[in-house]
Structure 1
Amino acid sequence: MRRSFSLQLTSMLDRREKRHTMPSHFSTIGLPLSSQADYGALANRVGPLATPIEVPNGVYWRWVSDCGAEVWLQTNTDNELVGMTPFYSGRAEVSVRLTNRVVRQDDSPLEGAFHAWADPDQNNPDSGAYPFVFDVVDFDRFGDIALPTTAKAQIAAFAHEVSVYQTVHSYNESQSGELKFASQSFIPSGLFASGGESTEPPNSIAFFTGHIIAMELRTNCLTGAQYYWALVETLGGSFDVVIDPELCDASPVVGGVISGSFWLCGRLID
């Protein structure tokens, strides 16, 4: 298995480099990657340490660190490496009603997302706090799940852009424009294009603001690189926010507020 990771790496990286324009998805959990060689070195390093999870369309290889950072390698039924996804296993929990599968044109059979309602209305299957989309790191495990269905999810929010406020008061004071956002608010920005029309297929992106319940500056045991983790409570549930320190102009603090744009990737936990 070690040799297959190395031999099949190049074709996967060609596709991934075109798709993921933000290597910060990896640096956000202390895995700074800047070249194809870096991706290859990471795959060859964690592959032999990973736990296999067999699914209908191949195998997920899950590498787990003590700090919560994870890497999920994906091999297809021909034992070729076709993907590598960063993840963070944390403490957050969101109650969701899964309504539809979201599969994009360049997704492999091992990739995909769910359209869901957060904090769903128990009396209305198509209602809740808000609709949103999140990628599922082990999506192929749920190919036969009947929809709609209610579940709990642990969702990691990988920061693209972020602002940090030391108190709820300082956040509220910063809201000086006509349009003001509450300190616990959520906008499923991946569902809409800039002109307001629906995005098809939708993206697993959201803009949200929430209260910091817990936080740590963590060190990735594989690289020694640091990153911030924060448990953030917002409208509809809580999220595990991970941030590359280069994005922050101040350190997050418990009792403060985080606001920004995030890629959402999760797992179903029940």
Structure 2
Amino acid sequence: MASNMSCIGITARDQADFGRRMSLLLERSEPAGKSGAYELRVWSDASGASVSFVLSEDGVECATPSFRAQSRLHARAKRFASDPDCRFCDPLFVDIVDAKGECFYPLATQLEDILLTRERVSGGTLIELGVCAFAHGMEVWADEAAFTAAQANEEVKFAAESLIPSGLFSPEGQDLPEAAEAFLTGRVLEAGLRENLTTGETFQHAIVKTLGGNYDVLASPRELAAPLEPGNIIQGEFWLVGRVTSGLAEAPRPGLLNRIFRA
């Protein structure tokens, strides 16, 4: 199974090598903002790949891989869930909706800039999301006809454009926290290999149409028999991370906060 980092061209031989690579990216990162005792710094690459670092006086608290998403989804914000290991990885619950606000399905996604935007996401508000789906395992068919034929003898059949918010369900008998994961089946609209200019490694990017809209899909080429092409049908388990591109509440002005605190 590919790691999230390998889906944007960052692989390592071992833990020490991974640490060196993260240190290099942190050195090349740019400040994006602060919240309380924490700072967000972002390394980004011409390929679209990025890593968001949350820093405190103790060092790196969280490092989240992402990508400059081209696709957009309409959603209604609901609430943040709690990640048991990292508060900067708390997933945002939304309903993916159509142009009339009708719900396709609920979904959980991480936000790459949660440090700066968490307090600006209001429950019930309509927002626009750019969501990236990092492949944790993916099958590919040449086209919809091949996909349909492959399911001929299967008891459960999937539509060529369908999505199950798998991170919202726990296996029977287990009480697992909600996760930003989905089992996605979709049609490749655009595809191409990108080069991470910092590491020199390539990764697969694609725009994939599924139920509810389009997602930016990222995958390690090592997990694919051949590069993706438009018209392919893909299916697999994906980790989701994104950014709210429209619908955030206005950030409080520092001067206003000072007056509130003095009052």
Partner of 1:165: 141
The residue type equivalent to 1:65 in the other structure is D
Partner of 2:118: 143
Other structure's SS at 1:140 match:
helix
Shift, 1:149, TM fit = 1.2
Residues 1:207 and 2:183 aligned together: yes
Partner of 1:221: 197
Residues 1:131 and 2:106 aligned together: yes
Shift, 1:198, TM fit = 8.8
- Which of 37, 46, 62 is equivalent to 2:42? 62
Tell which deviates more after alignment, 55-64 or 129-138. Answer: 55-64
Partner of 2:92: 114
Which 4+ residue blocks in structure 1 deviate beyond 3 angstroms? 120-123, 197-200
- Which of 229, 238, 241 is equivalent to 1:262? 238
How many residue pairs get aligned? The number is 243
Identity, % of aligned positions: 28
The residue type equivalent to 1:133 in the other structure is A
Tell which deviates more after alignment, 53-62 or 186-195. Answer: 53-62
Other structure's SS at 1:269 match:
strand
- Which of 152, 157, 162 is equivalent to 1:185? 162
Output the aligned Cα RMSD.
1.9
Residues 1:233 and 2:209 aligned together: yes
In 2: Cα distance, 1:80 partner to 1:122 partner: 45
Tell which deviates more after alignment, 129-138 or 144-153. Answer: 144-153
In 1: Cα distance, 2:131 partner to 2:65 partner: 12
The residue type equivalent to 1:69 in the other structure is A
In 2: Cα distance, 1:34 partner to 1:114 partner: 33
Other structure's SS at 1:260 match:
strand
In 2: Cα distance, 1:237 partner to 1:136 partner: 18
Structure 1 gap segments, 5+ residues each:
1-21
In 1: Cα distance, 2:175 partner to 2:185 partner: 22
In 1: Cα distance, 2:6 partner to 2:156 partner: 33
Other structure's SS at 2:84 match:
coil
Structure 2 gap segments, 5+ residues each:
247-263
Other structure's SS at 2:89 match:
coil
Tell which deviates more after alignment, 39-48 or 62-71. Answer: 39-48
Partner of 1:245: 221
Other structure's SS at 1:258 match:
strand
Residues 1:25 and 2:1 aligned together: no
In 2: Cα distance, 1:61 partner to 1:115 partner: 24
Residues 1:47 and 2:47 aligned together: no
The residue type equivalent to 1:26 in the other structure is M
With over 3 angstroms needed to count, the CA separation of the structure-2 counterparts of 1:116 and 1:25, relative to structure 1, is same
Partner of 1:8: none
Mapped contact 1:207–1:259 kept (Cα < 8 A): yes
TM-score by length of 2: 0.86
Other structure's SS at 2:137 match:
strand
Shift, 1:79, TM fit = 5.6
Tell which deviates more after alignment, 92-101 or 198-207. Answer: 198-207
